[in-house]
Structure 1
């Protein structure tokens, strides 16, 4: 087992395979997009597979594929099939915006995908278009239903934004009455790629919970899994569950078991960390597997205690509004 310098076991890798996305959600990036990485700047699938094998030997057993939007990168399914076959990887999951091809769902099912997180911030077509700047609502809802029909463990990730989707909170909770789905509400974070400024949020996890309880006063608290990012609840007799993720207030940092590799191969031991060590350059300059392993151990031994400490360590020149797509959601 692998532990950081604060005694927390690390066993979960969030691996971003691309920074590109076919949506333009305003809380993630500007309408014109980002200065996306060139193909030569991002890790190859072979480089990612090599890093996964090394991390698996260090105790990483859970992997979530993220982006950008993972399915915009060609060859994703064959890569995931290889990862799913690595003996020490127990859980392979993916986060997607649901605009990808429906026929890939059968591949996810066949490889034994543990869960699919579907990014969906509202249940209204006009609001969806305003938030994402794209007309893909019908496709995303079709994708959602296809995931449920396939019997895949499905979670909806909804970013709560005061000016845009508060009216969707209760309708999204209502999905859990009939659907075996976990609807998770996420506090808005400052990683918007400079598309807008940022101020401390009003709708934190406490206010989101109070709003849900106003409609469901008998909301039940569930027992959260160890290292869970969400505080989980259930409407009595509902098929699914409700989660609230305090991503901005960061009350979950004390049990964090996650690390991130960006599309460029930079290791982030915290979401709020500035920059990160480039394993892409390290490997391309000839580092052996043993040297890569030792570098991981060195970086894990220097991990910030929580997101606030990591944020304080940022240089004054750091971009406070880095896009989530470049970090790896």
Structure 2
């Protein structure tokens, strides 16, 4: 079998695919989706598990994809997700299968997901303050998220926690979340606020920059040192507290863009390929998957998308255009 390496015109090789299984969610985080009247995809437009599995199998077998992350929306609201996990986990050549979730449904689903072959979870939790959680997510679900984290740990998952950092809102959450890392042993990753909200209220002044977060954590807890195990294609740079207790990651999409080493592309729930999280163009894979298209046809379509990838997301330039899709519709 000929291997078709997915390399763009800037020399970046893509071996990391993020697959959105739904645009639906049981929260309404303001940085991700509108508060009301969400226009969800009609069910017939969402890829089936069989279509997703076929595409992933082609990408692994023909293009050298080695990492798959399932996203949403909230992927656990997709019924019988463990069936998809089981199908994907058995594909030869897949080295890493992970899932991003808000954790609310983990108490009910963790065991089945683990039995199906899933081992890694990223759980989103921006704050440990109930009122602020409700302000950010428009739902009173903090206790369910915390229960989901505990269920994941008890089941045996490798867990990381993701927290979106927003200036003027989440500064007071930095220390409590870092202390949670020190007490639990879980890595907490702070993500700079990005322009992917449905209501287009993002402002540059609202970005809580990595430098600011580092300074505050060092002042209030202990010195942080880079851990030195950072792969250039990994969006998170990890630090450890000098006393060895706690691991903190920073995803600095705005202040320290990592586009030069990006190895990721995305498949949306409705079967569109996006070569960048902030892309304004998409390639339709669903029509190919639902026709007589060959594996080679699928590979060619993805190759053409990757070849058209820009040098960077351009957020820090006057050329930046916010995508038409909000985050819940793109997939994290």
TM-score, scaled to structure 2:
0.92
Distance 1:155 1:280 in 2: 32
Alpha-carbon distance, 1:194 to partner: 1.6
SS at 1:242 equivalent: strand
Structure 2 residue ranges without an equivalent (≥5) = none
Distance 2:21 2:328 in 1: 10
1:307 is matched with 313
Alpha-carbon distance, 1:162 to partner: 1.8
Show the 5 A alignment for 1:60-75. 60-75=65-80
SS at 2:238 equivalent: strand
2:297 is matched with 291
Alpha-carbon distance, 1:81 to partner: 1.0
Distance 2:259 2:132 in 1: 32
Would the aligned equivalents of 2:20 and 2:71 in 1 still touch at CA under 8 Å? Answer: yes
2:22 is matched with 18
Structure 1 residue ranges without an equivalent (≥5) = none
Alpha-carbon distance, 1:195 to partner: 5.8
Distance 1:14 1:40 in 2: 21
Show the 5 A alignment for 1:239-254. 239-249=245-255, 251-254=257-260
Show the 5 A alignment for 1:92-171. 92-171=97-176
1:223 is matched with 228
Distance 1:98 1:191 in 2: 21
Range with bigger deviation, 139-148 or 276-285: 276-285
SS at 2:287 equivalent: helix
Structure 2 counterpart of 1:34, from 38, 52, 60: 38
Distance 1:273 1:166 in 2: 30
Would the aligned equivalents of 1:260 and 1:269 in 2 still touch at CA under 8 Å? Answer: yes
Alpha-carbon distance, 1:217 to partner: 4.5
1:261 aligns with 2:264: no
Distance 1:113 1:202 in 2: 33
2:242 is matched with 236
SS at 2:197 equivalent: coil
Distance 1:106 1:232 in 2: 29
Alpha-carbon distance, 1:108 to partner: 2.9
Range with bigger deviation, 142-151 or 129-138: 142-151
Distance 1:285 1:312 in 2: 40
Distance 2:300 2:57 in 1: 14
Distance 2:316 2:227 in 1: 30
TM-score, scaled to structure 1:
0.92
1:204 aligns with 2:205: no
Aligned length: 326
Distance 2:255 2:243 in 1: 30
Structure 1 counterpart of 2:328, from 319, 325, 328: 325
Change (3 A) 1:249 1:70: same
SS at 1:308 equivalent: coil
Range with bigger deviation, 159-168 or 301-310: 301-310
Alpha-carbon distance, 1:84 to partner: 0.6
Task: Tell me how large the CA RMSD over aligned residues is.
Answer: 2.1
